[in-house]
Amino acid sequence: MTETENLPGRRVAAVAKDDLSRIIEQSVQKQPEESVRCVRVFGDAYRCNWWLFEKTATWGGTGTIVRSEFLRVTKSPDGHGVVIAEPTPGR
């Protein structure tokens, strides 16, 4: 479902109510040593980064992004999962 908000002098685009970032992080394929972080950019578009963290004696370690993709994601028809479309090609 989407909502549209009208502000004086400008129109704000429709925004999806549900942020699926956490579900996507749990659903995408990854290597055992990788961690995935996703952020909703707008609507059904998400940016996902696959991180590889190095454990060090200082602070909590450092990380490197080993893969990054833009994904189009919607809820599955039954509402209990997500449907991930092909990754959006980079420009």
* pLDDT tens profile 31-48: 999 999 999 999 999 999
Separation between Cα atoms, residue 24 and residue 68, nearest integer Å: 14
Q: What is the domain count for the chain?
A: 1
Residue 14 has pLDDT above 60, yes or no: no
Structural domain that includes position 33? 18-84
Out of 9-18, 44-53, 79-88, the most confident range is: 44-53
Rounded to 5°, the CA angle 16-17-23 comes to 95
Residues 6+ apart with CB under 8 A from 23: 81, 82
Please name which of 46, 52, 54 lies closest in space to residue 23, comparing C-alpha atoms.
46
Mean pLDDT of 44-72: 85
Is 2 among the domain residues? Answer: no
Mean pLDDT of 49-75: 84
Is 90 among the domain residues? Answer: no
- Bigger pLDDT: 21 vs 9: 21
